[in-house]
Amino acid sequence: MTEIKLDDSVLTTRLEDVLNWGRKNSLWPMPFGTACCAIEFMGMMASRYDFSRFGAEALRFSPRQSDLLLVLGTVTNKQAPVLRQIYAQMAEPKWVISVGVCASSGGMYRTYATLQGIDRVIPVDVYVPGCPPRPETIMHGVLKLQEKISRETLVARKAHIEEFYLSLDRQKELQEAAGCTEFQAVREMVLKAGNEGDQRIW
């Protein structure tokens, strides 16, 4: 944090630094656990690791009460629109950590049914490697996110989230124009992005 002390009684800093300091130390995580990585997360939240040290122990299972989405496990193509809806409903500003190779790249599931990386449908801030990543590795991912939050500008974070909302508008337009379901629209957008050499739809 940029700060100058004046006679030990006055502290000057930037508004952005203060807000980011508050944001990074009061994350409210929501786990989206679909497979084995979620078990490692449960271990991390247990008393042995004392996750409260990082101010992010207040777990919520409602997206409207959370600002940190942890995707823990394999995500199928059918779950992709659900994941997008959960991200859309979360409180702003919001961040995403992709935990394990399944969430980050589809992992060993190179199949037509598995989403080959959640970053194709929602923005991801930190990728945690491993299959499964140990609880310490997931904690390291959260610490990396805290570092990222302390460096980012408020405008950049807002623009980052806005980009996703624009893709949600495109998805709704496609649903209405083609009369298809959310799943069909997202699948169509993912395939089209892949054919055009892009890996993401947001």
Residues lying near ligand SF4 in the complex (CB under 6 A): 35-37, 73-74, 100-102, 107, 131-132
Alpha helices (H) along 25-153: 37-45, 80-89, 100-105, 135-151
Least CB distance from residue 37 to ligand SF4, whole Å?
3
Q: Closest CB to ligand SF4 among 35 and 88? A: 35
Q: In angstroms, rounded to a whole number, what is the distance separating the alpha carbons of residues 66 and 28? A: 5
Q: Closest CB to ligand SF4 among 73 and 117? A: 73
Residue 54: Cβ within 10 Å count: 17
Q: Closest CB to ligand SF4 among 101 and 186? A: 101
Using DSSP's 3-state secondary structure scheme, residue 5 falls into strand
Q: In angstroms, rounded to a whole number, what is the distance separating the alpha carbons of residues 189 and 178? A: 12
Least CB distance from residue 106 to ligand SF4, whole Å?
9
In whole angstroms, what separates CA 164 from the centre of its chain? Answer: 12
Q: In angstroms, rounded to a whole number, what is the distance separating the alpha carbons of residues 37 and 108? A: 14
Residue that is written with structure tokens 């271990």 in the block: 43
Least CB distance from residue 186 to ligand SF4, whole Å?
21
Least CB distance from residue 18 to ligand SF4, whole Å?
37
Least CB distance from residue 146 to ligand SF4, whole Å?
23
Q: Closest CB to ligand SF4 among 74 and 146? A: 74
Q: Closest CB to ligand SF4 among 36 and 91? A: 36
